Structure 1
Amino acid sequence: MNLLVNIPDGVGYHKRKAGLGTFLRYERMKKIETMVYRIERMDRDVGPPRIRVDAWIPEHHRDGFLPGDLNWVGDGIYRTYAYLQDNRTTLGPFLASGDKEWVLGGSGT
């Protein structure tokens, strides 16, 4: 199953107002379409509806990850989120099933 997922794209800096410190650091994100090995429904999540996924990240997209990131769960497999508004059609069968988790096969966790 291919989904549009969010992955880190490096670190950005924003100049704050005078007197509040020099810079504000934040993590930039980008969306890529990639193969997903596991999807999991999240309970008690705040914000826009999303699903936790284990996604394969191609080599050319791995340069924006921070060193020592603990969301790597396998060789090239990263645990991240897929938003329902971006993947409503693809995630339709999973949402209709009522299951908590689907393991889609492959070399995931």
Structure 2
Amino acid sequence: MRTWVLEGSNRMVLGAVQWIALGAGCLNVALGVYALATNRLPRVPFLHRGFLPRRYGWGQLMMSLFVFVVALEPAMMEWPYELLIAVLMFGFGACLAGMWTMCSGKRARQTP
């Protein structure tokens, strides 16, 4: 059976993508912790102001779990297959739960 091995520049690209994904996961954690600690939404230009801060914070923390699981997945390749699939499914479920938590915490628009 032939195995797929990363060589040379392909390994460097994968390493760079992993570090970028880990950075994005850390940004999600920072935004979530800020929202939970201050009970206010962070002041970033791309964030819509219609979310409840607590639900936004928990949603960001749960979605960052999926980013960390996917980014660290190559390091888990020596784990048993069943455990690897269980961890990936747990991360995917946490991402879905985070999206649901954020969307359910969206404030209704007030009509004048």
TM-score range, shorter chain: under 0.3
Task: Write 1 or 2 for the structure with the bigger share of helix.
Answer: 2
What is the TM-score with the length of structure 1 in the denominator?
A: 0.24
Greater per-residue strand proportion: 1
Larger Rg: 2
